[in-house]
Amino acid sequence: MPHQAQLEAAYTEMCLDRLDLGFEPVLITLMFNPLPGSQATVARTMEQVIEKMYGDVVRNMFRHPGRKDLLELPLWIACPDYPVNKSNKMTIRETTVNSGMHTHIPAMVPTGTRLELPFNLWLEENKHLYCGPGKAVARIHVLRIYETPEDAFRYAFKSLGRGRANSDDVLVLPRTHSEMQSRKQGR
């Protein structure tokens, strides 16, 4: 099994492990507005936006997220994706802005949080906080996964299988508590 396929399988297994713990699977897709810089700079900006969004979401879910065990926090695995030829054509803008790069995030979300709605509905209701004119994210598509989560995870990680992305391109959240603390102090 090639390295990329092993990564895809490992990330899928991480999601399935959380599913076994009772977490709800949600697929988030982020389309970005034009971002300046090289492809590496654009990718880093996208990663920073996702990290900030994750932090905001976790603070809305839990009063003191730093006191939670990492296994109690949502698991997000953000993987870049690129357009491919398919029957439901993307717009020219979507295929040219940021070289077509967008991000899929299988999000495994714990139940019993402070959110008053299921996470997918909460994000849908609050996406104006994260996307729109003047923000890095142009559009958010959020979908609760009710059937065949493995297929949804494979879809989200398909750039790994196609060799368009590698482990360096994938962002796994949460980070360890020490990584989160050192990032806070570095600001």
Q: How far is CA 166 from CA 3, 35, 82, 113, in A?
A: 9, 21, 13, 33
Given a cut of 80, whether residue 174 has pLDDT beyond it is: yes
Residue whose pair of structure tokens reads 């810089």 in the numeric block? 37
Give the span between the Cα atoms of 132 and 116, in whole angstroms.
24
**Structure letter (DSSP) for residue 131:** B
Query: Selecting from 3.90.550, 3.40.1310, 3.30.70, 1.25.40, what CATH number does the domain 3-185 have?
Result: 3.40.1310
Give the span between the Cα atoms of 26 and 104, in whole angstroms.
10
Reading the block at residue 158, the tokens are 């398909």
Angle in degrees, CA 95, 156, 25, rounded to 5: 135
Model confidence pLDDT, tens digit, residues 133-143 = 999 999 999 99
Domain extents in the chain: 3-185
Give the three-state DSSP class for 110. coil
Give the span between the Cα atoms of 83 and 90, in whole angstroms.
8
Average of per-residue pLDDT values in the chain: 87
Confidence at residue 158, expressed as pLDDT on a 0 to 100 scale: 85
**Average pLDDT value for residue range 91-111:** 80
Model confidence pLDDT, tens digit, residues 8-20 = 888 999 999 999 9
Torsion of CA 85, 90, 92, 96, to 10 degrees: -70
Residue 47 contacts residue 78 (beta carbons within 8 Å): yes
Confidence at residue 32, expressed as pLDDT on a 0 to 100 scale: 94
Confidence at residue 182, expressed as pLDDT on a 0 to 100 scale: 46
